[in-house]
Amino acid sequence: MTTAPLTSETLRRQVEAVVAPYGLSVDDFVASDVDDLPSDELRDLWLMVKGALAPSQ
């Protein structure tokens, strides 16, 4: 089964909801090295969104 497509804006909002409690912005998170992230929750998320999100211009 295929779900509704995910837009970049929606993905960005979803990521923001996860990283904000860690004091991170989406841009900071995307630009991070995965090994510098403070939790496995963030590692998993970073791997899943890598390549889909880029720092905003």
Partner 1 sequence: MGNLIESAEAFASILTEVVNGTVSTDVRFVVTPFEGPPELAWVYPEGSTPASVSLIPIVAGLPDGEPPRLWLRTSFQVRLDDTGDHLAVQQSVFGLVIDEKTKRPAVRVEYDRDKGNEPDDNSPARHRRSAAHVQIHGSSEELAYVQGLNGDRQLRGLEKFHIPVGGRRFRPSIEDFIEFLWTERLIPGLHPGWEDVLTRHRSDWLALQLRAAVRNDPFTAVSQLQTMGYAVEPPQDRSAPVADPSRPD
56 contributes a contact to partner 1 by CB under 8 A? no
Alpha-carbon distance of 5 to 33, in angstroms, equals: 27
Which residues, in sequence order, are CB contacts of 24 under 8 Å at separation 6+? Answer: 32, 42
Q: What is the nearest approach in angstroms of partner 1 to the Cβ of residue 12? A: 10
- Binding to partner 1, residues 11-30 (CB under 8 A): 11, 14-15, 17-18
Contact between 8 and partner 1 per CB under 8 A: yes
Question: Shortest gap between Cβ of 13 and partner 1 (angstroms)?
Answer: 9
Q: Which two tokens stand for residue 28?
A: 């900071």
